[in-house]
Structure 1
Amino acid sequence: MDAFTSFFDSQTSSRNRWASESLKNFRQISPVVQNHLKLVYLTLCCALIASAAGAYLHILWNIGGIITTLSCMGCMVWLLCTPTYEEKKRVSLLMAAGLFEGATIGPLIELAIEINPSVLISAFGGTALAFGCFSAAAMLARRREYLYLGGLLSSGLSMLIWLHFAASIFGGSAALFKFELYFGLLIFVGYMVVDTQEMIEKAHHGDLDYVKHALTLFTDFVASVCPYTDYHVEELG
């Protein structure tokens, strides 16, 4: 679901082609955009806290499942359809989406805690470190050439889906599984860079919808941490 959301958002944005002047933009990040980035990352942090709360609620009451998955998708669609001036409602929908997302991945987190709690810590810490480093690199880059990675990442994601499909039919080796894992992580780290630079470029052009931008980064983050956790749970299990 998260992969589909990131892929769909990237595909939609690729159709809105930037002018050649914006792709060659060497401007420093303006104070307005800096403030926008602060709001985006603060909102993202709150969404991750809501997601952690959702996972905790699953551990307490076993609420995660198809209902929370559909609820999460419904909240995301509702958020994207809500006018930007209804700011409080959109933030509430993002927090609800984070809560339901956390409950959805709750079974995986619960299993990781039962097997080895350090798996969860290393998965979250490693993803947070990669997310922070690559986001910082995207924000500090003067040029916007990373925006060109969108098409390459979409092709990589398509290849990953076909590999998974083929492995489910014909069977796959442990080496193929590891390749899928790390290749997938590489793709979603790439999406972090592209989405961050695209967010900055949109903010320079007046799009200061921090809730939508936080949603994009939230799906990138969750899509990166889940495969890592799943792999190590299976390896230890």
Structure 2
Amino acid sequence: MNVFERNINFDALFKLSQISHSTQLHLKNVYSSLAVCMFVAAAGSYVHVVTRLFQGGMLSVLGSLAMMFWLAMTPHNPETEKKRLAILAGFAFLTGVGLGPTLDFVIAVNPSIVVTAFLGTSVIFICFTLSAIYAKRRSYLFLGGALMSGLSLLFLMSLLNLFFGSVMIFKAHMYLGLIIMCGFVLFDTQLIIEKAENGDKDYVWHCVDLFLDFITIFRKLMVILALNDKRNKHSFYGLFSSESHSGLCVLHHSG
């Protein structure tokens, strides 16, 4: 039989029968908020890289942490929705500014890496998100323990490399971190669905989960591509120092 003669059922492809209608609406809110966060973060990166009005560094990282904790402490209800969205936008902006030092170094190596890394991150994120949505419910939640252990290992590797400054440890940290964050896209997506099915419709906080996953994958992919670029004449320590303040995702998931 000719495989090209088979009919493709596109209705089945977009059918989410295992997810309730209210959860589907919740996911639309989550991903709409995520898209807005991407634009705001891009504006924050632009402020650092182009205008230099606000420089990324320890202050921007502390500001991001403050915004995240403020958001966590603000109760989820209709009266505070606009306030929480404003806090989310501030968090995304400061996170984008915090990407500035890494962007500076990568642009100095090869500006095209930024575009390549963003497209690669988008493809990775979309593929793993669809895998989580269309997979059997709770099928990836078992990854939680292993992923948290992986984050602990990354933290220990970072501490160890503060003393040794090893290129090999740094590269291993980047590659392992990229794999772990891909796993978190699967885990966080299914966890959000499960929480929504059980009545937790806090789409603003759920957006933070996925936003940090995306940003962390993007950062690590940029660094990996910069390290592998044949025109890279820069010191490894430039990338190492630019990555020294990128622990938001570890703190968020460990909390």
TM-score normalised by the shorter chain: which range applies? 0.7 to 0.9
1:33 to 23, 44, 54: 23
Is the 2:174–2:224 contact (alpha carbons within 8 Å) kept by the matching residues of 1? yes
- Read off the aligned partner of 1:28 and give its amino acid letter: Q
Could you tell me which of 37, 45, 69 is aligned with 1:77? 69
C-alpha separation between the residues in 2 aligned to 1:37 and 1:222? 19
State the partner residue of 1:68.
60
Unmatched 5+ stretches in structure 2 = 1-16, 235-255
Q: Deviations for 1:87-106, whole angstroms, at most 9, x for unmatched residues?
A: 01101110110001111111
Say which SS state the counterpart of residue 145 (structure 1) adopts. coil
103, 126, 131: which is aligned to 1:132?
126
Deviations 1:12-69 (A, max 9, x none): xxxxxxxxxxxxxxx7111111111111001001001100000001121251222222
* Correspondence for 1:8: none
Q: How far did 1:190 drift?
A: 0.6
**Is the contact between residue 175 and residue 224 of structure 2 (CA under 8 Å) also seen in structure 1?**
no
Q: Which of 62, 84, 102 lines up with 1:90 in the alignment? A: 84
Rounded to whole Å, the distance in 2 between the matches of 1:100 and 1:190 is 25
How high is the TM-score relative to the length of structure 1? 0.83
User: Within 5 Å, which residues of 2 pair with 1:194-233?
Assistant: 194-233=187-226
Return closer, same or farther for 1:167/1:66 CA change in 2, 3 Å cut-off: closer
CA distance in 2, matches of 1:216, 1:223: 11
Q: CA deviation at 1:178?
A: 2.8
Q: Classify the secondary structure of the residue corresponding to 1:147.
A: coil
Cα distance in 1 for partners of 2:171, 2:58 equals: 27
Match of 1:164 in 2: 158
- 1:139 and 1:32 mapped to 2: Cα distance? 15
- 1:184–1:102 CA distance, 2 compared to 1 (3 A): same
Tell me the percent identity. Answer: 40
Structure 2 counterpart of 1:121: 115
Which protein, 1 or 2, shows the higher relative CO under an 8 Å CA cutoff with sep ≥ 6?
1
How far has the Cα of 1:197 moved from its partner?
0.3
Output the amino acid matched with 2:223.
D
In structure 2, the residue matched to 1:52 is: 42
Report how far residue 160 of structure 1 moved. 2.1
Q: How far, CA to CA, are the matches of 1:170 and 1:114 in structure 2?
A: 25
Letter in 1 for 2:61: T
In terms of Rg, which structure is larger?
2
Which residue identity lines up with residue 193 of structure 1 in the other structure?
L
- The amino acid of 1:199's aligned partner reads I
TM-superposed CA distance for 1:76, in Å, is: 0.9
> Structure 2 length normalisation: TM-score?
0.78
For residues 166-185 of structure 1, what are the structure 2 equivalents within 5 Å?
Answer: 166-174=160-168, 176-185=169-178
Verify: 1:100 aligned to 2:91, yes or no: no
CA RMSD of aligned residues (A): 1.8
CA distance in 2, matches of 1:69, 1:164: 17
